[in-house]
Structure 1
Amino acid sequence: MTPGGAGVAQRHPDPADVLARHLRARATEFLRALRLNRGAATPEDSAEAARALRRAARRISAGLYTFQPALDPAWSQRLGPELAWVSGTLSQEDACTTRLTRLQDALHHLSGPAAPTPPSARRSMPSTSGVPLPADTTPPEAPRPAASVSGTPAPARATGALPAAPRRAPTATATVPAPDGRRAVAPRPEGGSGAAPGRVPLAVGAAKAAALLERQLTLARTRAHSAALQALGSARFHAVADQVAVLASEVPLAGRAANLELWPLAEAARERLVDAVAALPLVTAGSPYNAEALVHGLSPDPAPHPQDAPWHQVRLLLRLHRYAQEVLDPAAGGDPRLRAAGEALDRHRDAAEAAAAAAQAARTPRIAPATAYALGVLHAGQRHEVEAARYAFQRAWQQPHADTT
């Protein structure tokens, strides 16, 4: 009887102990990430530590929200919003970086695939400071600067300065923003220094659109970085860290937690998700193209797209559902159906935010028509990405559950 009783105890652990162990483990991850952030030697280490802080903060906050009846109400209602503030503040810098990279890639994709450069053209390409230039950088009738004996280009005045128009040929000298904020020379077809495979130099409108997006999103990223540093050094964050340190050793449970089952609370989170998904226009999302999504695209109102809010809410509820499943069963987070649905909603969020950034840039006063056109095409492309993500979510959500035979 004793072995059998021990087996039953192992299969049915105390619910309060399961929740407490989960929260203590997440609190330990939060404190470990905080130590890594304070001792980071490089920006990459600091960024990775910030992501770990966000992950731990999200899971603790989700646990406090979903399983609130099992926890001390005053404590959980005070700490949960503070952890959401930490996660939201630390996510802004990464969001700006992702948005800028996504829009850059889209501009290059819209510019078409890179065409192979003929070998004869490669041989005719002079070098400026060791960086090869395309053969069509200067029109044939314009003189090129002569190179010195040492191979270093001579000053333009020694051979006659180039006229202003040829020196500003847009397809060769325009620069595009790099994801890390540095300016990089537009990729060359021949794959030389600084080139990226499969890309071509941007045309006039696209290059100016890229420069405008770089200025706006780099400024937003800098502000987000400053806000994150300020938040991490604030008394508010220190108070949150102190509460998480207490949580790592002791979880304030409610008096009735010992007699409270966790699975009904997790089931309530699932039902909220199912109800929110049922309210989505999945019939419209069943088609990969939705013309209604472009109606509010470039309107003067900078408010978020009216179709996006329900999908963003489903993304949050799906995350709460996944995190609740992880409390009951740590392996439940690997459900391929939920993972595919979550990835589709992440793409939906990224594309919607990128489209909003393109629309905001298009509202800049006194921009050239070619720039406005490029931003409009970019916005339309991102809205189509939104629709594709909704279609992917609809396909993933209708797949059978992992435990269905």
Structure 2
Amino acid sequence: MAQRHLDPTNPTTAPADAVAGYLRERATEFLRALRTHRETGGGTTNGNEESTDAALALRRSARRISGTLHTFRPLLDADWSESLRPELAWLSGTLGREHAYAARLDRLVGALNRLSGATNLPTQTSVTARSDAGAAPIGAAAGSRAAAGSRAAGAARAGAAAPGATGTGSRPPAGPDRGNLTVGAAKAGALLDRQLTLARTRAHSAALQALGSSRFHAVADSVAVLASEVPLTPTATAMDLGPLAAAAHDRLHDAVTGLPLHTAGHPYNAEALIHGLSPDTAPHPQDAPWHQVRLLLRLHRYALEVLHPEAVPVDVRLLTAGEALNRHRDASEAASAAAAAARTPRIAPATAYALGVLHADQRHEVEASRFAFQQCWQKEAVRTP
């Protein structure tokens, strides 16, 4: 049965009812997606597209429930919400890895094709693991990566892409050294295909194992209870949602204020390339604040969904900012994958060179995404019906 949407602008509707109604709807979506996932063979290794969509729907519902529990936690039973939130975060992260690895591979192979002028996807069948056996030592590969980074940085500063372009956008040819890049691109593509396909397979197995675990069944039981009864505090009916939603907006605003927007306002300043060739395998230190803003923007959007259950007012600035931050996250993780592949022992210099160019290309996509975010955020929000 379809649930009645609550109007927070109606003075006869208690704010607690709006939160409870939103949580019940998200819990119902979660259970519906879980049923679809099981009925379409999601528990097997040959899950079809429908079961994949159901897994993504499970993840979306889990994220929204977790975000609502965080933003409006003063209205909810503290022990219950604090125990459920980390479990939902675990589930969302587990279900999202397989899709992330697949998207990362597509992005990187598409970038290799664009940079080398190739028309076919490099695959394992076209380049075997033997092609890199007995090749140059790691020191030579590192030197090639450094040269590639400098060359790609110069190409990007010369206008290789328009600010805000995606990783698969159209660009002019890469210029000199095209032959070296083309030779190494096939081997680099095969190496990335092996590594990311293996990671995707492991993520798929981990997701299947998680969905069959007692931990997941406990989460599903809690969500099933949530679909019928939301544990509110005794004072929830007297609380106002406005200040809680405003606090989510303020946290987003404060995080954006901490970003180097002045630097990001200059396209292709190569700020994102700093420490790009560091031997440290940890995530890029500059990216963390931007990822945090992306998370806070998502929480702000979920809060608006609670306040406007019928239809969230369209804010073009927030939509554009969210798209830019998504591209930023994708390019950042793709660059990390290219760097990880370049650290593979005993790869050929041409392969290391191609991976170095690919890494620099994705780090410039990071810079372009920051530029796009800075441009849209500085504009006044535009709302349409």
Q: TM-score range by the shorter chain?
A: 0.7 to 0.9
Matches within 5 A, 1:213-362: 213-330=192-309, 331-332=311-312, 334-362=314-342
Q: Say if 2:331 and 2:365, in contact at 8 Å, map to a contact too.
A: yes
Whole-Å separation in 1 of the counterparts to 2:83 and 2:360 = 42
Aligned partner of 2:295: which letter?
A: L
Q: In the TM superposition, what whole-angstrom CA distance separates every residue of 1:162-209 from its partner, at most 9, and x where no partner exists?
A: xxxxxxxxxxxx9623xxxx9689xxxxxxxxxxxx9x9983200000
Whole-Å separation in 2 of the counterparts to 1:106 and 1:8 = 46
Whole-Å separation in 1 of the counterparts to 2:249 and 2:286 = 23
Structure-1 residue corresponding to 2:55: 50
The Cα shift of 1:43 comes to 2.1
Q: Say if 1:175 and 1:184, in contact at 8 Å, map to a contact too.
A: no
TM-score by length of 1: 0.76
Whole-Å separation in 2 of the counterparts to 1:231 and 1:223 = 12
Whole-Å separation in 2 of the counterparts to 1:297 and 1:274 = 28
Whole-Å separation in 1 of the counterparts to 2:214 and 2:313 = 34
Whole-Å separation in 1 of the counterparts to 2:112 and 2:228 = 50
RMSD over aligned Cα, in angstroms? 2.4
Aligned partner of 1:60: which letter?
A: I
The Cα shift of 1:400 comes to 1.3
Q: Is it true that 1:14 corresponds to 2:14 in the alignment?
A: yes
Q: Is it true that 1:103 corresponds to 2:108 in the alignment?
A: yes
Q: Say if 1:34 and 1:49, in contact at 8 Å, map to a contact too.
A: yes
Q: Which has the larger Rg? A: 1
Whole-Å separation in 1 of the counterparts to 2:344 and 2:201 = 20
- Higher relative CO (Cα under 8 Å, sequence separation at least 6) belongs to 2
Q: Which runs of 5+ in 1 are unaligned?
A: 1-6, 115-173, 186-197
Structure-2 residue corresponding to 1:370: 350
Give the 3-state SS of the residue equivalent to 1:400 in structure 2.
coil
Q: 1:366 to 1:398 in 2, by over 3 A?
A: same
Q: 1:107 to 1:26 in 2, by over 3 A?
A: same
Aligned partner of 2:289: which letter?
A: P
Q: Is it true that 1:391 corresponds to 2:371 in the alignment?
A: yes
Aligned partner of 1:19: which letter?
A: V
TM-score by length of 2: 0.80
Q: Which runs of 5+ in 2 are unaligned?
A: 1-6, 42-46, 128-169, 174-178
Of the structure 1 ranges 338-347 and 327-336, higher mean CA displacement relative to structure 2 is found in: 327-336
The Cα shift of 1:235 comes to 0.2
Q: 1:184 to 1:397 in 2, by over 3 A?
A: farther
Q: Say if 1:323 and 1:333, in contact at 8 Å, map to a contact too.
A: no
Structure-2 residue corresponding to 1:29: 29
The number of residues matched between the two structures is 323
Q: 1:12 to 1:277 in 2, by over 3 A?
A: farther
